Amino acid sequence: MGNIILTGDRPTGRLHVGHLVGSLSQRVKLQNEGQYDEMYIEIADAQATTDNSGNIQKVKDNIIEVALDYLSCGLDPSKCVIFLQSQVPELSDLTFYYMNLVTVARLQRNPTVKQEIIYRGFQNTLPVGFMTYPISQAADITGFDANIVPVGDDQLPMVEQTREIVRTFNRLYGDTLVEPEAVLPENEACHRLPGTDGQAKMSKSIGNCIYLADSEEEVKKKIMGMFTDPGHLRVEDPGKTEGNPVFIYLEAFSEERHFAEYFTNQETGEIEYKNLDELKAHYERGGLGDMKVKKFLNYVMQDTLRPIRERRHELEKHIPEVYQILFDGSAKARAKVSKVLDRVKKAIGLDYENDLELINSQVQKYAELHEAQEQKKKR
Ligand code: TRP
């Protein structure tokens, strides 16, 4: 089997720059390099219902937002299948059988789920569906025979859980499922981008995210208000770049050309800072103000986000066509998962219609029973 890529997002909000560097850019790169046989991108609306059962409208409203974000970042429906999880019911069938291969204790150890439970205040109100979503995610991945899963590092426990399910399944029922591998961005700073306030998590409710759909003014305002090194009070003071969100963002987004474009002196032709190391060194020495760094970051971010925003603006005029992409994708996804489900049910032994041996053995059993009864009567 060749390379099959699968990944996805819950439609619970618009996608932000953390998604962009954490996973979206990687997907687009993989897509455009073309080293794969099939590529699937899932809008995980069913998973999103596991903690939004009372607010399905929120999930529904965000499907189009995520789809627009995908397409404007460069995901191309002629190269990858973009689909809606809820429209592929075969995934639930797989989940049902995988549930038997995972212990409750194992689920309770999942660090991402643990954090999410605390974050959502699910002490005595934890829905069973939410607790078990890693199993359903294993179905998402294995249902497509995916071997490559490009994700941010918060999703590593889900991929690990999937690998365990695959190994258990194959041990019990014979070699059937493909063991996937997570692919993280090469650049360390992209693994988990902090919020603009320096908090580890970007969250809509805290309001510390820069969204792909934000306007130029919104992006600028958020950058200018960003948290930096609280010890860097005066320009002359030495500053910290480590753990400083402005520098983490530069690490994640800036390219060498940005330095040449932005820092070249028009008269002398000299480049004030040729790369991020030089900018960092000056900040750490003292004498470089936060404003100047933020203005450069704004230049970099606008340069990155402008083409995405412009494509999005165009796509927003074609909403029905965007939905159609999802419906067509879902039909393709369903055809694929159906085949894998058939294989899985056969491996477990649940493909009764094709199981002549089963029927014959039952025929045999009753024939022998009747034969014995006949013998008894004769005696
Ligand atoms: N759990 C992912 C998120 O919260 C979404 C997701 C669902 C996913 N199924 C997946 C990611 C399969 C990778 C592979 O965004």
Provide the pLDDT for residue 199: 85
Q: What's the gap in Å between 206 CA and the centre of ligand 1?
A: 22
**R_g over Cα of the chain:** 26
Residue 43 CB–ligand 1 contact under 6 Å: no
Question: What ligand 1 atom has the least distance to the C-alpha of 137?
Answer: 9
User: 3-class secondary structure for 36-47?
Assistant: CCEEEEEECHHH
Atom 2 of ligand 1: nearest residue by CA position:
9
pLDDT tens by residue, 311-360: 999 999 999 999 999 999 999 999 999 999 999 999 999 999 999 999 99
- At residue 300's C-alpha, the angle toward residues 299 and 301, to 5°, is 95
Residues in CB range of 69: below 8 A, 6 or more apart:
14, 15, 19, 24, 212, 213, 312
State residue 81 phi and psi, 5-degree precision.
-95, 115
Ligand 1 pocket test target in 4, 5, 6, 7 with most atoms within 8 Å of CB: 7
| Contact call for residues 222 and 294 (beta carbons, < 8 A) | no
State in Å: Cα 10 to ligand 1 middle.
Answer: 6
**Tens digit of pLDDT for each residue in 147-189?**
999 998 899 999 999 999 999 999 999 999 999 999 998 888 8
> Tens of pLDDT along 216-268?
999 999 999 999 999 999 999 999 999 999 999 999 999 999 999 999 999 99
pLDDT at 204 over 80: no
Cα–Cα distance list, 256 to 192, 282, 300, 374 (Å): 22, 17, 11, 91
Q: Look over the chain and give the mean of its residue pLDDT values, rounded to a whole number.
A: 96
**Residues 6+ away with beta carbon under 8 Å from 193:** 17, 18, 21, 22, 202, 248, 249, 252
The SS3 call for residue 344 is helix
In ligand 1, the atom with minimum distance to the C-alpha of 44 is: 7
Pinpoint the alpha helices (H) of the chain. 17-19, 25-33, 45-49, 56-73, 90-98, 104-108, 111-119, 128-131, 133-142, 156-173, 216-224, 245-253, 256-263, 276-285, 290-315, 319-348, 356-378
The protein residue whose alpha carbon is closest to atom 9 in ligand 1 is: 137
Phi, psi of 40 (to 5 degrees): -125, 135
Q: Ligand 1: distance of its center to the CA of 39 in Å?
A: 15
**Does residue 44 line the site of ligand 1, with CB under 6 A?**
yes
Residue 154 vs residue 70, higher pLDDT: 70
How many angstroms separate the Cα of 352 from the Cα of each of 174, 342, 378?
Answer: 18, 11, 37
Select the more confidently predicted residue: 207 or 372: 372
What is the per-residue pLDDT for 231?
92
Query: pLDDT, tens digit, for every residue of 71-87?
Result: 999 999 999 999 999 99
Please report the atom of ligand 1 found closest to the CA of residue 6: 14
Per-residue pLDDT for 191 more than 90? Answer: no
Q: What is the length of the chain?
A: 379
Q: Tens digits of per-residue pLDDT, 8-18?
A: 999 999 999 99
Is residue 1's pLDDT more than 70?
no
Across residues 101-111, what is the average pLDDT? 97
**DSSP structure class, residue 85:** G
> Shortest CA distance to 9 belongs to which of 87, 85, 93, 61?
85
What would the pLDDT profile of 275-320 be if each residue is shown by its tens digit?
999 999 999 999 999 999 999 999 999 999 999 999 999 999 999 9
Average pLDDT in the 110-121 region? 93
Secondary structure of residue 82 in the 3-state scheme? strand
**pTM for this predicted structure:** 0.94
Q: How far is CA 189 from CA 151, 252, 266, in A?
A: 14, 5, 32
Residue-by-residue DSSP string for 166-181:
HHHHHHHH-S-SPPPE
CA separation for the pair 213, 190 (Å, rounded): 19
**Matching CATH topology for 4-193+318-348 and 216-314?**
no
The CA 22 to ligand 1 mean position distance, Å, reads 13
Q: What is the pLDDT of residue 92?
A: 98
The reported pLDDT for the residue numbered 153 is: 87
Rounded to whole angstroms, the Cα distance separating 218 from 220 reads 5
Q: Where are the domains of the chain?
A: 4-193+318-348, 216-314, 352-379
Superfamily of domain 216-314: Tyrosyl-Transfer RNA Synthetase (1.10.240.10)
End-to-end CA distance of the chain: 62
CATH topology of domain 4-193+318-348: Rossmann fold (3.40.50)
